[in-house]
Amino acid sequence: MTIRNIIFLGLILLGIVIAMVPENTTKPYKLTAEEMLVEVQGAAEMVSADDVAHWVISKDPSLQLIDVRSPDEFQTYHLEGAINIPLSVILKDEYQDMLDQGIKMNVLYSNGTINSHQAWMILRQLGFENNYVMQGGLNYWFDTIMNPQEPSVYSADEEFAKYDFRKAASSALGGGGAVALSAPAKTKADKPKIIRKKKKKAPAGGC
Amino acid sequence: MKTKYMNPYLAGVLLGLVLLMAFFFSGRGLGASGAVKSVVVTAVDIVAPGHTANSDYYGKYVGEGKSPMKSWLVFEMIGVMVGGFLSGALSGRLKWRVEHFPGITANRRLVFAAAGGILFGFGSQLGRGCTSGSALTGMASLSVAGFVSMMAIFGTAFALAYLLRKNWI
Amino acid sequence: MGPLVPQEIIGADWNLFIAFVIGIGFGFVLEQAGFSSSRKLAGLFYGYDTVVLKVFFTGAITAMLGLLFFSLFGWIDLSLIYVNPTFIWSAITGGVIMGAGFIIGGFCPGTSVCAAAIGKIDAMVFIGGILLGIFFFAEGFSFMKDFYMAGAYGPLKVSDFFGISGGVMALLVIIAALVMFKLGELAEKKWPREEY
């Protein structure tokens, strides 16, 4: 067989194969399983409900709450300033700019933490930065921030400070415990640093 | 027909692999006219810097921290010269000469070459790339622009072939 | 995985070196295929030598298949590959002017540089012409700007335009190319000519 015929045959065969297989439309994961394991063990993606409450009250401009529950649940109740990106549609292109960015700190939440964590895992594997999960989810938020329980008298001072803050936060956020806003609680942890996104280079080329 | 050149289909496959490597490494295809444009921009910038800075066209390529010669295509075209020279040396084709159809004079060939070059240079800028940058690369990436360029270039050349037959056959 | 430089798997400093190496490959293949000869290039339009058609289309198809298979295997992220944007009117007009330049001058920019590298003086003159042509375009750009930007469709792909998959599009191009190759070979038999 001549080179010409081999090449003709090769091209037509490869052409038939490529025409029959479905196109690869999956988004490639940027992080390997090992890298993910390290990240998950570090638990650096978690932010506490107290911190979130603090940022909401202080109207921190860099905070973006993202509700990953269904639109129905979102309609019924959602945190102040939250936007709704249900888990099922999180990969849609229209949300990409919001989830893959370097200006804001996205805090994902769901009722518990399962869905928010699932969302975070996917986003993280795609290489997106600055996404966090609210520890405990909305359930915990209601139990602690909106209806704080007074600690027992034997608790450490720290617990009382937390309680005071929560009561104050609860009132500021329209919850049950109505108490004058007291000390600016020292619960505020260091805010996670926002990682500047490397400018995604538009593919360059052409003459 | 005996030929001193490589089997065209094999050469095509190799050309495709080179293009594929350009995509795989640099995320872009081959080109040629862009490098010549860089030379023009650089030359005009040296002669009349004020003119380039104010121009709609040159302005894109000059200014603080931009050097038009430090571009992918310029380095690629330097490579083309080296590669072409190596191939010519290997196959014993290095020779100073004006190649032309025996029925015309060398001077006529040179005049037509210059005219064709002017048209090609102008067209490549209007069409955003030449045969390699727009047609070949564009077709490989399935770009509409690539197919349109290819059909316009080859279609026009075929259409005008009869008028210019004295130059070639 | 790929493309390596845009994803910063290979540092951007290497990009120009890669360009140089790829250029060597490009120039070598062009010269070996006979693209350094204007008479061979022009042969396509008179039917006596269709090497341009064969090399050009085999090259485009090989790279097209390569991209599709690389994407299928997850070796390359097609969204990071440059797809030249379509500006329909300037693409057609530019193509027509280039086509005229091709049959008049006997080269295209890439092949002329390759031919100049082995000492073809007509190719050097052609390059001089390109420099002038680009200069004329740049100087007259402000008059043509509106036309240059008209009919913008962005980085549109033919497969999306026809609503078919990239793979089916590739197969159609391959079939069309094989038919053209056959015609080219018939033409070479019909108008045989000595090679120079």
Q: Which of B9, B27, B130 sits opposite A207 (nearest CB)?
A: B130
Query: Does position B68 have pLDDT exceeding 60, yes or no?
Result: yes
- Chain A to chain C Cβ contacts (< 8 Å): 66
User: Could you give the CA distance from residue C38 to residue C123 in angstroms, rounded to a whole number?
Assistant: 8
User: Could you give the CA distance from residue C20 to residue A56 in angstroms, rounded to a whole number?
Assistant: 54
Asked whether residue C6 falls in the same domain as residue C49, the answer is: yes
Asked, for residue A8, whether it belongs to a domain, the answer is no
Asked, for residue A201, whether it belongs to a domain, the answer is no
CB contact under 8 A, C67 and B23: yes
Asked whether residue A133 falls in the same domain as residue A155, the answer is: no
Residue that is written with structure tokens 């509700």 in the block: A67
Number of domains making up chain C = 2
Helix (H) or strand (E) holding B150: helix B144-161
**Poorest-pLDDT segment among A164-178, B47-61, B122-136, C95-109:** A164-178
- A200 to chain B, any CB pair closer than 8 A? The answer is no
Tens of pLDDT along C14-46?
899 999 999 999 999 999 999 999 999 999 999
CB contact under 8 A, A3 and B10: yes
Instruction: State the pLDDT at residue A182.
Output: 45
Asked whether residue A109 falls in the same domain as residue A65, the answer is: yes
Backbone φ and ψ for C153, nearest 5 degrees, come out as -120, 5
Asked, for residue A196, whether it belongs to a domain, the answer is no
Asked whether residue C142 falls in the same domain as residue C117, the answer is: yes
CB contact under 8 A, B28 and A7: no
**Poorest-pLDDT segment among A120-129, B159-168, C93-102, C116-125:** A120-129
Asked whether residue A62 falls in the same domain as residue A77, the answer is: yes
Q: Which of A7, A8, A206 sits opposite B133 (nearest CB)?
A: A206
Residue C108's nearest CA partner among B44, B137, A120 is B137
Asked whether residue C192 falls in the same domain as residue C124, the answer is: no
Pair of tokens at residue A121: 């895992």
Burial of A131 (0-12, 13-18, 19+ CB in 10 A): buried
Asked whether residue C34 falls in the same domain as residue C93, the answer is: no
| Interfacial residues of B (vs A; Cβ cutoff 8 Å) | 7, 9-10, 12-13, 27-29, 31-34, 37, 72-73, 124, 128-130, 132-134, 137
Helix (H) or strand (E) holding B88: helix B72-90
- C6 neighbourhood in chain A, CB within 8 Å: 201, 203
Asked whether residue A141 falls in the same domain as residue A111, the answer is: yes
Asked whether residue A157 falls in the same domain as residue A117, the answer is: no
Which of residues A1 and B80 earns the better pLDDT score? B80
Asked whether residue A95 falls in the same domain as residue A157, the answer is: no
- C90 neighbourhood in chain B, CB within 8 Å: 126-128
Backbone φ and ψ for A181, nearest 5 degrees, come out as -65, 120
Backbone φ and ψ for A104, nearest 5 degrees, come out as -110, 165
- Give me the CATH number covering residue A48: 3.40.250.10
CB contact under 8 A, C23 and B122: no
Say if CB B123 and CB C95 are below 8 A apart: yes
User: Which residue in chain B is spatially nearest to A201 when comparing CA positions?
Assistant: B27
Query: Does position A180 have pLDDT exceeding 50, yes or no?
Result: no
Question: ∠ CA A87-A89-A93 to the nearest 5 degrees?
Answer: 130
Asked whether residue C58 falls in the same domain as residue C151, the answer is: no
Query: Does position A128 have pLDDT exceeding 90, yes or no?
Result: no
User: Could you give the CA distance from residue A49 to residue A42 in angstroms, rounded to a whole number?
Assistant: 18
Asked whether residue C25 falls in the same domain as residue C117, the answer is: no
User: ipTM of the predicted structure?
Assistant: 0.94
CB contact under 8 A, B164 and C104: yes
Q: Which of B29, B88, B110 sits opposite C125 (nearest CB)?
A: B110
Asked, for residue A151, whether it belongs to a domain, the answer is yes
Asked whether residue C45 falls in the same domain as residue C93, the answer is: no
Residue B27's nearest CA partner among A197, C18, C159 is C18
Residue that is written with structure tokens 């394991």 in the block: A37
- C58 neighbourhood in chain A, CB within 8 Å: 7, 11
Q: How close does chain B come to C191, measured CA to CA in Å?
A: 11
Last residue of a domain, one of A145, A169, A201: A145
Per-residue CA distances from A97 to A93, A200, B82 (Å): 8, 11, 44
Asked whether residue C68 falls in the same domain as residue C142, the answer is: no
User: Could you give the CA distance from residue B163 to residue B123 in angstroms, rounded to a whole number?
Assistant: 20
Any long-range contacts for B60-68 (C-beta under 8 Å, 24+ apart)? B61/B37, B68/B37, B68/B38, B68/B41, B68/B42
Asked, for residue A3, whether it belongs to a domain, the answer is no
Asked, for residue A94, whether it belongs to a domain, the answer is yes
SS3 A202: coil
Asked whether residue A51 falls in the same domain as residue A106, the answer is: yes
Number of domains making up chain A = 2
Asked whether residue C76 falls in the same domain as residue C10, the answer is: yes
Asked whether residue C38 falls in the same domain as residue C74, the answer is: yes
Residue that is written with structure tokens 């090989």 in the block: C62
CB contact under 8 A, B118 and C129: yes
Q: Which of A11, A198, A204 sits opposite C174 (nearest CB)?
A: A11
DSSP state of B134: I
The model's confidence at residue A150, banded by pLDDT at 50, 70 and 90, is confident
State the best of A2, A3, A18 to mutate against chain C, taking most chain C CBs within 10 Å: A18
Asked whether residue A107 falls in the same domain as residue A172, the answer is: no
State the best of B1, B5, B9 to mutate against chain A, taking most chain A CBs within 10 Å: B9
CB contact under 8 A, C171 and A19: yes
Q: What percent of chain B has pLDDT over 70?
A: 98
- A203 to chain B, any CB pair closer than 8 A? The answer is yes
- C187 to chain B, any CB pair closer than 8 A? The answer is no
Asked whether residue A81 falls in the same domain as residue A132, the answer is: yes
Cα–chain center distance at C109 = 10
Asked whether residue C91 falls in the same domain as residue C22, the answer is: no
Asked whether residue C104 falls in the same domain as residue C91, the answer is: yes
User: Could you give the CA distance from residue C67 to residue B20 in angstroms, rounded to a whole number?
Assistant: 7
Q: Compute the average pLDDT of residues B66-73.
A: 86
Q: Which domain range does residue C94 map to?
A: 84-156
CB contact under 8 A, A11 and C71: no
CB contact under 8 A, B152 and C99: yes
Asked whether residue A170 falls in the same domain as residue A86, the answer is: no
Per-residue b/e over C30-42, b at no fewer than 16 CB within 10 Å?
Answer: bbbbbbbbbbbbb
Asked whether residue A65 falls in the same domain as residue A141, the answer is: yes
User: Which residue in chain C is spatially nearest to B165 when comparing CA positions?
Assistant: C46
CB contact under 8 A, C81 and A203: yes
H, E, C per residue of B97-121: ECCCCCCCCHHHHHHHHHHHHHHHH
Q: Which domain range does residue A180 map to?
A: 147-185
Tens of pLDDT along B78-92?
999 999 999 999 999
Asked whether residue A57 falls in the same domain as residue A38, the answer is: yes
Asked, for residue A133, whether it belongs to a domain, the answer is yes
Asked, for residue A18, whether it belongs to a domain, the answer is no
Question: ∠ CA A52-A54-A56 to the nearest 5 degrees?
Answer: 70
